[in-house]
Amino acid sequence: MHKQRAFIGHHGPELLDDGTTRFRIWAPDAQNVSLIVVGAQTLPMTANEDGWYSIDAPYGAGTLYRFLIDDELQVPDPASRAQAGDVHAPSLVVDTSSNYLWRNPNWLGRSWEETVLYEMHVGLYGGFAAMEKHLADLAELGVTAIELMPIAEFPGDRNWGYDGVLPYAPEAAYGSPEELKHLIDTAHGLGLMVFLDVVYNHFGPDGNYLGRYAKHFFRHDQQTPWGDGIDFRRREVRDFFIDNTLMWLLDYRFDGLRFDAVHAIPDRSFLTELAERVHASVEPGRHVHLVLENEDNRASLLTAGFTAQWNDDGHNVLHALLTDESQGYYADYHQDATTKLARFLGEGFIYQGQNNRRGEARGEPSGHLPPTSFVLFLQNHDQTGNRAFGERLVSLADADALRAATAVLLLSPMVPLLFMGEEWGARQPFLFFTSHHGELADAVREGRRNEFAEFAEFADEATRERIPDPNAVSTFENSRPDFSARQEPGHAEWYALYRELLSIRHREIVPRLQGAHFLESRVLAQAAVLSRWQLGDGSRLRLELNLGTQAAPLPTASISGELLFASREATHAHDQLAPRMARLYLEKAA
């Protein structure tokens, strides 16, 4: 068992050696601030420079407290380490240095090349403690890293997590900080890394009081899809989020973070500073991975301290080919899809400065990056949950074509991400859910339904009313995967496929990934391509992929190599590739 020293940041309470606590808050627009100790007393705080208020008070771990702004508004600590309930409840002083004894203190993580990510929603598993019961099965399957959807304290007890308003506090409905640490510790004992999805581009609509006493946390001249942008020009704001990153990595020992929608953070210098601070703060030899979601395809960030980016381009073109869907953003991928498929497999991003359907240039050149700079997925919370009825790909695509795409997902040199339940072909939907109330609940419900107004099948209001209410308990419950179905007919076959492919990946691909790079990718026929990658040991990986309905001609010049996997039996001549089929060969270096 091992205790570790707590990370001390600029924001939030600090336990002092004499048993007292230093409380502080940045409230530059407040005239005065007091500390309310629940069940005890209210103490005036000292106004310091640059809008800070502080007080050293004779209270320790377990103390419940709030701040009183201008003698009229009680608020939680915006850097609360835990809440005694919901976002409007009192904050809780937590002793992060001694509240948990680590059983695996020498864990240093795993290399990025070994990563197989598995995205999970903690609430659907029943909380931190309940989630632990599933970790051994994931490790046995071949998963090497779980990725938790956001867990920052949000209003209510059901939410995707992107409505969080207290980013330092683990959601109380999921469990305590100690239970979260136990989950991470258990994962490490099984050889699993743990990643966390964090949201630094906006706050949720309920429970965020910052605008009342720290107006300059936001900038009104810069709008995001969620309202005023966050003002990352200010030192206090930068430290708020960078310290949050360091808390998760140092106090909780997460192995990596996924940064949500950084295209809504236009201040690139904040992102590069964050990466620099992280790499300077973690202990030598420890693997820590920083992963972006970035619709702008800023490839240059992937040589500025960030490990990889979610490759929405790859998902979108594969989805368009698998389903023939062309509405919304799939319109950018449905047209000339085969050429775009070849570009994605041969260079990473599809949009590298080209105009999208709106005539907007998007992206930067990416072919010089290693394939491991891209996280590939066929499904995730966004791509499944942002469908009106949350259908999973197994319900939308031809089974043979989906098996072929799954081979690409798990055997290409890109880093794969699975979405909970896909490995056994789960058919339960993953819907958008919240637990808002009153006028906000009505606005969220109507806003959700109006998002689909531009789609032909939802053109009339009556049809849109069939879209599940995000605030209904049934919407949440219907999204819970049936974990007992894994070995049932129709599911066991998918599970066996994922197990086989991950075994091949760890045996043949992972040991050769370091130093890999793109070689070529060319069109064979409609929806069919041939792609090759140079691996780090000098061997070459070759993919023959046909997602179309007609056989595709193969080059006459034979290429030697060991067949690693074929997604179905060959039914055509050796110079043709059958429809809806993938084959991967490994040509080993001499």
Is 130 within 8 Å of 138 (Cβ atoms)? no
Higher-confidence residue of 462 and 485: namely 485
pLDDT of residue 347: 98
Three-class secondary structure of residue 531 per DSSP: strand
For the segment 88-111, what is each residue's pLDDT rounded down to a tens digit? 999 999 998 777 899 999 999 999
pLDDT grade for 527, boundaries at 50, 70 and 90? very high
For the segment 172-217, what is each residue's pLDDT rounded down to a tens digit? 999 999 999 999 999 999 999 999 999 999 999 999 999 999 999 9
- Give the residue numbers annotated as catalytic, written as ranges: 260, 293
- Nearest partner of 525 among 399, 331, 341, 376, judged by Cα: 341
Which helix (H) or strand (E) covers residue 181, if one does? helix 177-189
Is 521 within 8 Å of 531 (Cβ atoms)? yes
For the segment 95-154, what is each residue's pLDDT rounded down to a tens digit? 987 778 999 999 999 999 999 999 999 999 999 999 999 999 999 999 999 999 999 999
Kindly state the tokens that stand for 103: 């059983």
What's the pTM value of the predicted model, to 2 decimals? 0.96
pLDDT of residue 210: 96
pLDDT of residue 209: 95
pLDDT of residue 314: 98
Cα 516 from Cα 344, distance rounded (Å): 16
Residue 456 reports pLDDT greater than 90? no
- Nearest partner of 404 among 584, 262, 195, 163, judged by Cα: 584
Q: Give exposure, 327-359, as e/b (b: 16+ Cβ within 10 Å).
A: eeebebbbeebbebbbbbbbbbbbbbeeeeeee
How do beta strands 193-198 and 256-259 pair?
Answer: parallel
Cα 169 from Cα 152, distance rounded (Å): 6
Identify the DSSP state of 408: H
- Beta carbons within 8 Å of 530's beta carbon, 6+ residues apart: 521, 522, 524, 542, 543, 544, 545, 554, 555
Residue appearing with tokens 């100790």: 37
Residue 348 reports pLDDT greater than 90? yes
pLDDT of residue 222: 84
Residue 569 burial (10 A CB sphere; 0-12, 13-18, 19+): exposed
Q: Quote the longest CA-to-CA distance of the chain.
A: 84
Is 373 within 8 Å of 515 (Cβ atoms)? no
Residue 9 reports pLDDT greater than 90? no
pLDDT of residue 97: 77
pLDDT grade for 431, boundaries at 50, 70 and 90? very high
pLDDT of residue 6: 67
pLDDT grade for 367, boundaries at 50, 70 and 90? very high
Cα 523 from Cα 531, distance rounded (Å): 9
Per-residue DSSP letters for 288-319? Answer: -EEEE--TT--GGGGGTT--EEE-HHHHHHHH
Across the range 432-459, mean pLDDT stands at 86
Cα 386 from Cα 429, distance rounded (Å): 11
For the segment 280-289, what is each residue's pLDDT rounded down to a tens digit? 999 999 999 9
Residue 447 reports pLDDT greater than 70? yes
pLDDT grade for 221, boundaries at 50, 70 and 90? confident
Residue 359 reports pLDDT greater than 90? no
Q: How far is CA 231 from CA 73, 217, 260, 305, 564, in A?
A: 24, 6, 17, 22, 50
- How distant is the alpha carbon of residue 392 from its chain centre? 18
Is 15 within 8 Å of 93 (Cβ atoms)? yes
